Amino acid sequence: MTDEAIQRTQDAEEHKKSYEAIMGAATEIGVPFSMALAMFFTGLVTRSGVLMAILMAVVVYILAHVVVKMFFSHHE
């Protein structure tokens, strides 16, 4: 292979590593956090109280994190 083909292969591998790292962080942290944030504001809007809204957000974050980890566990 030529130097250019080798460089393209290395670039493709590097891009794949970056993509997998970004997607991993987005699914393991971003998805549960956005769901917890939505639940927090839902708790505030329904007048459940600030403490109950925080509690609901924490519970949803933990449950969503567990579900995401179980769903994506076959990729590792």
The burial of 63, by beta-carbon neighbours within 10 Å (0-12 exposed, 13-18 middle, 19 or more buried), is given as middle
pLDDT tens-digit map of 4-13: 888 888 888 8
Count of structural domains, the chain: 1
Structural domain range at position 26: 3-75
Cβ–Cβ under 8 Å, residues 32 and 69: no
Is 22's pLDDT higher than 80? Answer: yes
pLDDT at position 45: 94
Q: What is the pTM of this model?
A: 0.73
